Amino acid sequence: MHPSFVACDFESCYQCCLETRMPLLQEDIERIEKKGFPADTFSEKDGDFIVLKNRNGACVFLKKSQCTIYSFRPTGCRLYPLVFDIDQDKITIDLECPNKDAFKAYLENTTITDLLLDTVDRLIFERNARITEKNKKS
């Protein structure tokens, strides 16, 4: 496990992959595309963000309760259940994670929290660039 990522050892749990709205960085999309998955098969627009697609109520990459792209999964999946709560303007642990108490120590891990904040900044930067591009065309 890369030291910058959250280590989730609950192998039988895939709660976070159900009805996912995980936002994707451009680099996530390119990394997954390089493995042979065209972007339109796994990503879609959600407003001006790009998010993972679902099929039958779960992420398109979830098969037989397992992530089929685990080693190159999106950055947000690597950091979950740590998420950024926009309303509270802070990093928190997703209340929907059934094992949330096991991850509290990560809130004090600045390698992880810095990576999450950087990811949020980049997602917003990329979203804003899409808006600018859209406005130019209209």
* The only residue of 43, 73, 79, 93 in contact with ligand SF4, by rule CB under 6 A: 73
Nearer to ligand SF4, 57 or 131 (CB): 57
Q: How far is the CB of 26 from ligand SF4 (least distance, A)?
A: 16
Binding mask 15-34 for ligand SF4 (x = CB under 6 A): --x--x-x------------
Q: What are phi and psi of 40, to 5 degrees?
A: -75, -10
* The only residue of 25, 67, 91, 102 in contact with ligand SF4, by rule CB under 6 A: 67
92 has which bridge partners?
83
